[in-house]
Amino acid sequence: MPVKPKISFENLEVAFASKSDAELRKMYLIFATLNNNLISDLGIGLANLAFKLKLPVKGIMKKTMFGHFCGGETIAESIQAASKLAKYGVHAILDLSVEGKGDEESFDRTCEEIHQTLIESAKTDYMPFGVFKVTGLGDYHIMEKIQAGEKLTPSEEKAFAKMKGRVDKLCKAAHDLGLKILVDAEESWFQNVIDDLAFEAMEKYNRERCVVYNTYQMYRHDSLERLKKAHQVALDKGYLFGAKPVRGAYMEKERERAEEMGYQDPIQPNKEATDRDYDAAIQYSVENGIHLVCATHNEKSSLQLTELMNLHAVDPTSDRVFFSQLYGMSDNISFNLAKAGYRVVKYVPYGPVEKVMPYLTRRAAENTSIAGQSSREFELVKREMKRRKNRG
């Protein structure tokens, strides 16, 4: 019988090893602010207003929220953040977190910027992945029309061909540079088109090794079945299948649209169903040799995966399984897994401060406590500060 992996996400010395006392105090203030709904909402609202009024708040943001959740404004700044993580065995994925203008020029610019992240990532051994959102590379309205079975106009056909070309350019670059690349999941009403683009790239580039990974939002009740079907197609066509299960990010929008347009709600009935399907996707992936990126801040799911890997003799140092968390969050999971020898990658978002505000607003909403309870992050920071004080 395999021995259970010895790992604890309660080891705060390992979790916060990369943080000085001053950085820990700054984290305390950030999470204390996020922990208060009123102050958090007010702060984000004022920051957004200040940028609209062109007030000089960039410096403050870089020292607080932006500095904690983002690697920097540029690729070079983010590589510095990534190299600090690498000292503790935690690897990084440079993630351009800027929402484009939605014209062909901005799609080309985004594609070029992401291509540059791949070139820079390939120069190191601690940035094994690239990542992109298809909506950053082309007009989502076209994907909506395709999924709805509507005919495209000649200009839309041309635009879609360009979108496909950009997707291929990034996947080919990852392949040629010896990297891997993640295709982010998006809204359900054009996700099928994104899936098809990802599978096309997998069929092309996932022959000798797993390069392209598709993302599955497990808060959709059909995602587990979709993942299994996609795996079967990969087996039939003879290419390696890469999957990144996540719990998901567009729930309110999905529910509202389904109600508004009168179709079946694609969302799970409750969080328990999401958790059940997420863990089932992880188990299915390990048992069936899928190349996996387990993207979660859930301690139970992360621990379960270490046990499954042990049970099925998956070498923690191989590239079959990666664990993934966001920069500035769940360091107790990331750093303890890395210390125990598992492959861990942090998403490191970057971009100009004012253009990353939508991303920071989402992070603030995610971290704000429910019914006044302290967030897990805040509790851990407080405990580590106390531990260091007692250590003297």
pLDDT in tens, 339-358: 999 999 999 999 998 888 77
Candidates 96, 91, 46, 55; CA nearest to 75 is: 96
Tokens of 344: 């861990």
Question: Which neighbouring-strand residues pair with 92?
Answer: 346
Q: What's the predicted TM-score (pTM) here?
A: 0.93
The CA–CA distances, whole Å, from 281 to 197, 211, 224, 328 equal 21, 20, 6, 26
CA 2 from centre of chain: 31
> Among residues 120, 121, 57, 90, which one has the least CA distance to residue 328?
90
pLDDT of 1 strictly over 60: no
Instruction: Give residue 53's pLDDT.
Output: 66
The pLDDT value given to residue 375 = 80
**Looking at residue 284, what is its pLDDT?**
98
What six digits make up the tokens of 164?
């496909």
* CA distance between the termini of the chain: 43
Cα distances (Å, whole numbers) of residue 278 to 86, 172, 220:
28, 30, 10
Predicted pLDDT of residue 369: 44
Q: Can you list the alpha helix ranges (DSSP code H) found in 288-356?
A: 299-311, 331-339
| Residue-wise DSSP of 337-389 | HHHTT--EEEEEEES-GGGGHHHHHHHHHHHSPSTTPPPHHHHHHHHHHHHHH
The reported pLDDT for the residue numbered 373 is 42
Element (H, E) at 130: strand 129-132
Rounded Cα distance between 343 and 356, Å, is 28
Helix axes 75-86, 104-121, angle to 10 degrees: 30
Q: Computed over its alpha carbons, how large is the radius of gyration of the chain?
A: 21
> DSSP for 24-87?
HHHHHHHHHHHTSHHHHHHHHHHHHHHHHTT-S-HHHHHHTHHHHH-SBSSHHHHHHHHHHHHT
> CB under 8 Å to 303, separation ≥6 — which residues?
7, 9
Structure tokens at 95: 């993630």
For residue 82, what are its two tokens?
A: 């990534």
Taking a C-beta distance cutoff of 8 angstroms, is the pair 373, 2 a contact?
no
pLDDT for 376 equals: 85
User: Taking the CB of residue 362, how many other CB atoms lie within 10 A of it?
Assistant: 13
What's the pLDDT at 331?
Answer: 95
pLDDT in tens, 257-297: 999 999 999 999 999 999 999 999 999 999 999 999 999 99
Q: Give exposure, 268-291, as e/b (b: 16+ Cβ within 10 Å).
A: beeeeebbebbbebbebbbeeebb
Structural contact between residues 236 and 230, judged by C-beta atoms closer than 8 angstroms: no
pLDDT in the model for residue 333: 97
